[in-house]
């Protein structure tokens, strides 16, 4: 009889431990799933807009020059801090023609640098090279730099800001 009680207690102890581990595993699964589900759902509810952002007076840009201009991101979050700012390479071709290039490489999104002496954009991450007009020159990028629409309004140069272009591999 004592052997029977021992086996019943052992079975009860075993089922108790299984229940505890099942509950712990379930809670752990929920904790892991919360950020994954949040990351999948967040883009649906996040507002993105396209807004014209002033980057300076027309006269402040020399014809033939390419400069880095900074402006407010299209969808900054309240806690964004410095990341609420974005930038573009702005090139003035003629008195009334401006071209704005994305600062992000078309390969994996690294920030490209303008090399004025060589008249090229260079990606330091994987050696992507772009011509002064933003077209592909060499390296792994699949295409030229993305461009933003530009307009002149009230003697101000404005860029139509939009979410960072999605890069392709």
CB 66 within 8 A of CB 74: no
Q: Which letter does DSSP use for residue 112 in this model?
A: P
Number of neighbouring beta carbons within 10 Å of residue 135 = 11
What percentage of the chain exceeds 70 in pLDDT? 79
Domains in the chain: boundaries = 1-45, 51-161
- The second-level CATH assignment, the architecture, of 51-161 is 3-layer Sandwich (2.102)
Q: What is the DSSP letter of 163?
A: S
Report the DSSP beta bridge partners of residue 156: 57, 153
67/90 Cα distance (integer angstroms): 5
| pLDDT tops 90 at residue 46 | no
Model confidence pLDDT, tens digit, residues 95-124? 889 999 988 888 888 889 999 999 999 998
**Model pLDDT for residues 14-40, shown as the tens digit of each residue:** 888 889 999 999 999 999 988 888 777
DSSP secondary structure letter of residue 165: P
Query: What are the residue ranges of helices labelled H in the chain?
Result: 2-45
Separation of alpha carbons 50 and 71, rounded Å:
13
């Amino acid at each position: 009889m004592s052997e029977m009680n021992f086996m019943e207690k052992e079975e009860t102890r075993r089922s108790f431990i299984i229940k505890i581990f099942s509950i712990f595993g379930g809670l752990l699964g929920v904790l892991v799933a919360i950020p994954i589900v949040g990351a999948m759902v967040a883009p649906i509810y996040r507002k993105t807009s396209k807004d014209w952002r002033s980057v300076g007076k027309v006269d402040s840009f020399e014809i033939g020059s390419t400069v880095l201009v900074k402006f407010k991101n299209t969808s900054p979050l309240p806690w964004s801090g410095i990341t609420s700012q974005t930038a573009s390479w702005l090139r003035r071709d003629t008195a009334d023609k401006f071209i704005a290039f994305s600062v992000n490489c078309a390969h994996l999104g690294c920030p490209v640098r303008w090399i004025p002496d060589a008249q090229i954009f260079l990606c330091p991450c994987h050696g992507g090279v772009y011509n002064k007009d933003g077209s592909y020159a060499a390296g792994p990028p699949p295409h030229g730099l993305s461009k933003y629409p530009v307009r002149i309004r009230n003697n101000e140069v404005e860029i139509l800001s939009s979410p960072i272009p999605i890069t392709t591999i």
